[in-house]
Structure 1
């Protein structure tokens, strides 16, 4: 009889190890399992959403421990810093309690029905949502094949749109009617005291240099000329880092939300070099909290594919809307996501619908056709 050591499980060898090793040698190697295309991004998105959820919960606990002064119910929620250039001051109403809201002229046009975006509706749409990175990559590819440029230094970028905004001068958010706006952005490099023109309510006004720029406003984040945009990094990560550094921070708004809205301004009221446009959308996919909104609506009620981000601190949500066929940019809107001291859930802060984007040789002149 052969002596054995250890525990024999009746299958030979120590705990069957020899048999298992022999079987492993005889059997063919296991076939590797590859996730279908896009599933890695899907699971990554789920993980990022969970991280966002946990972060928000921790922030809520921190806010609950603040003093009674900080938790007064009569305090209005913070409105995100306006990321449209400050030279639009003639068309902006400054709100109470440090809150800034675009106050567009109430000149004609039908009222846009304010649509409350309930949690249940958002959950239903999320069930049909694709990973946001895949959607933004498709939008990026479409943007790389389009464009109205290039734009010369002596030309103007022309944008015609329907706009709708809220006014807080009464202490409550009051959404005005739609109004048409035309704007001409000068492209001359270097400091400029005359940045363009804006026409709203039948009146054309000059756009002067930003407050404090006595020698004129240079091209940059608040005056994005075609030349400046073309010089931006086209690597998405480098571009996002660059824009994050250029976007001012505010205690009243998540910095990621400020960057998201800054990119929203660039894609809404400029003519973008195709490479820059493509990079901007891929950079937006890297911002934490950015999601798809499959049925977003612009200021004219046009439905399309949406890209959204919610700022929990200010109880606001901003959405970009794209044509479901060609993925061209249609417009955007920002609204309240909760009942607050200034307004009810769903109340509209602002909305835009871009109707025409072109390049002209003279400020104040409309493009032909």
Structure 2
């Protein structure tokens, strides 16, 4: 008689077989961490094939947030980024992305509301008096910046480190209607740049110059619209409103009256303070309007020239210990070097154009 093996006998045989095999290795990274590291690698290495058009605005938090990776894995990521691509060839090729560097650490200067009203009025008055170039049909808004954004929040080393992109130049061209554009960011975009052409309708999250001209210039009405249109978008209403105003100040051109209204509206957001001494990405010292994000513990600072009150750039600084990030760590910083209107896409001011 042939006897069938029972389920219990089968499991015993498997158990015996398992004892004869070597024990499986203990992986250094969980599957989730492995996937996140892979995503980080792919973001560091630009594809040779045409990629989707990047955002007109840089991300508020770049690449990899709050996910630790081992030092060995990070070193391997840098080595792979350098050896995978040669950076030579014709249009569409990419050079290796520069490896991230350790984030600078600065002294945290306390903010104050004592001079908030007067400082904002100085900034708004300067914005109103400024001569903003008016882009016409067929022209482009040109913004040249020096930037550095967060790369890895912290690593699993004995001394945890926060890594950021090396300071680099970013140039953007956008048509007044927001439908055509170009972005050139060597090391972070394909060689020669990428198109920003889009059919997306304009909004506060993707504004064009033409859209900005439709916004109210009364600070109360403007702030009400910002709160309404950003409701439920990720952060607290106050922080989201502050962030949205900041996004409209950097890589954009806004009519003078709207600029002044944006500053006066921002002063009405709870938690906004003045910081007396702040440096932008170009090393220019100024005064800042700032607000701490209570969820992440970092402070966003909009930096203005101390004498002219012209907008210089922005900085993000960790002010509260979070995710092993030291207070004073500069997570991102920018400097607007040039803002102009030119006659053609990829044209720079002074090159047969109408730079202003």
TM-score where L is the length of structure 2? 0.66
Match of 2:297 in 1: 315
1:199 aligned residue? 184
Give the match for residue 94 of structure 1: 63
Contact 1:149 1:272 in 2 (8 A): no
Aligned with 1:231 (options 198, 205, 214): 214
- How far off its partner does 1:97 sit? 5.9
1:98 Cα deviation from its structure 2 partner = 8.8
Q: Is the 8 A contact 1:158 1:359 kept in 2?
A: yes
1:291 alignment partner in structure 2: 273
1:220 Cα deviation after fit: 2.0
Aligned residues: 262
Matching of residue 352 in structure 1 with residue 351 in structure 2 = no
1:183 aligned to which of 150, 172, 185: 172
Deviations 1:205-254 (A, max 9, x none): 11243xxxxxx212221332222111111110000011122225345x32
Q: 2: CA distance between counterparts of 1:106 and 1:132?
A: 41
* Deviation digits for residues 279-324 of structure 1 (CA, Å, limit 9, x no counterpart): 1111111111111111122112211111101112210100011001
Of residues 118, 138, 157, the one that matches 1:134 is: 118
Q: 1:135 to 1:88 in 2, by over 3 A?
A: closer
Aligned counterpart for 1:145 among listed residues 112, 129, 140: 129
| 1:167 positional shift | 1.0
Runs of 5+ in structure 1 lacking a partner? Answer: 1-84, 100-104, 210-215
| 2:243 is equivalent to residue 279 of structure 1 | no
Q: For residues 365 and 140 of structure 1, what CA distance do their matches in structure 2 show?
A: 30
Q: Counterparts of 2:67 and 2:222 in 1: how far apart (Å)? A: 31
* Unaligned 5+ runs, structure 2: 1-53, 69-95, 156-160, 352-356
Is 1:155 matched with 2:139? yes
CA distance, structure 2, for counterparts of residue 89 and residue 284 of structure 1: 21
* Structure 2 CA distance for aligned equivalents of residues 293 and 334 of structure 1: 13
Q: What is the aligned partner in structure 1 of residue 106 from structure 2?
A: 115
Question: CA–CA distance in 1 between the matches of 2:59 and 2:258?
Answer: 30
Contact 2:102–2:162 (CA<8 Å) still a contact in 1? no
Larger Rg, first or second structure (1 or 2): 1
Instruction: Decide which moves more: 150-159 or 230-239.
Output: 150-159
Counterparts of 1:89 and 1:353, CA distance in 2: 13
Alignment of 1:262 onto 2:250: no
TM-score where L is the length of structure 1: 0.64
Distance 1:88 1:134, change over 3 A: closer
Residues 319, 131 of structure 1: CA spacing in aligned structure 2 closer, same or farther, 3 A cutoff? same
CA–CA distance in 1 between the matches of 2:236 and 2:192?
A: 36
Matches within 5 A, 1:237-256: 237-251=220-234, 253-256=235-238
Between the aligned partners of 2:348 and 2:61, the Cα distance in structure 1 is 24
